[in-house]
Every structure is written in C-alpha cells, then in structure tokens.
Amino acid sequence: MPHSFGLRSRTRYLFSRGFRNHGMLNTTTYLRTFRLGDYVDIKANGNIHGGMPHKFYHGRTGRVWNVTPRSVGVVINKRVGPRIIAKKIHVRIEHVKPSNSMAANKKRIEDNKKRIAEAKKTGTFVQTKRLPTQPKSGFFVNPRKSEIETIAPLRYELLL
C-alpha cells in the first residue's frame, strides 16, 4: 500500500495497453462524430497522455454537453458523500467511445412506435408499458385423466 496519492497513482494496470494493442491508434478514433446529448463511455487510452481523464472517470458513462475540435465535454454523476454531483469534464476524443447503454431502450421505443401505428390502423389497443413477469396462472388437475405416481426412496443396499 503506497503512501503517495498523485494524479496517476495506482494506475499501473489501469492505463496500460493490452497485449498487441500498442502503437498508433486507428484513424476511426479521430473520424467519429459526437453530438450534444450522446452517451459516451470514458475509457482512458494510455498512448495519449494529453486530455486524459482522472482515474475515477475511467469506465464511467456520461452525456456529451460540449464539443470542441479535439475534445468533448462530458457530464458524469459522481457520488460525493451522501449526494450525487453532476461533474462537467473535458476529455480528448481518444479517451471516449460511443456508448451502447441506450441501444436497447432506443430499439424498444422504435418497436413501440411501429406497434402503435399498426394498432391505430386496426383500431385495437396495444400495451407499450413494460410489465414485470407475472405469476403463472392456476389450473385444476383432473385425477381421472392423470395417473397418480407414488414416490418412495430407494432401499439402502450395501454394495461391496
């Protein structure tokens, strides 16, 4: 347990590059477009030292609130004591990637819109709210149609 608490202390493995992932970055990293309101995952890249976020923000998801030529401003919720504070930080685009956290939600919204449009045409009601799993419905067992099976434990026999 070290006694130093520097800016990048205890990040030996956190910011290190993976096996056979050293060297120059792909051009797709620089060609991505970020728009206001996009959800992004912060993943610090050890190759690029400039604009690197603090280790606390590594692996966190935030929302873009500002776009500059080489970086994006991201709002991240940080828990400080009993409260949650919205922190605004600027991170270079090398340390940010688009998040897939809202993909399922967007897909569900699109499906609901299609279902609502079809229901309007047919004049029926469609349930768009997500419901928790309901309990199984009860039923009666007819003893005449089903056979009764008596279950008993096997007799113990010493096998030598």
Assign residue 106 the CATH number of its domain: 2.30.30.70
Q: Length of the chain, please?
A: 160
> Residue 34: inside a domain, yes or no?
yes
From first CA to last CA, the distance across the chain in angstroms is 58
Do the Cβ atoms of 62 and 101 come closer than 8 Å? no
Per-residue pLDDT of the chain (160 residues; tens, 9 = 90+): 788 999 999 999 999 999 999 999 999 999 999 999 999 999 999 999 999 999 999 999 999 999 999 999 999 999 999 999 999 999 999 999 999 999 999 999 999 999 999 999 999 999 999 999 999 999 998 888 888 888 999 888 886 6
Percentages (nearest 5) of helix, strand, coil residues in the chain: 20, 20, 60
Q: Which domain holds residue 44?
A: 1-123
Strand partners, 39: 63
- Diameter over CA atoms, the chain: 81
> Residue 14: inside a domain, yes or no?
yes
> Residue 129: inside a domain, yes or no?
no
In sequence order, what DSSP letters do the residues of 4-32 get, joined into one string? ---TTTT-TTTSPPPTT--SSPPTHHHH-
> Residue 85: inside a domain, yes or no?
yes
> Residue 3: inside a domain, yes or no?
yes
> Residue 151: inside a domain, yes or no?
no
Number of structural domains (the chain) is: 1
> Residue 137: inside a domain, yes or no?
no
Do the Cβ atoms of 34 and 93 come closer than 8 Å? yes
> Residue 138: inside a domain, yes or no?
no
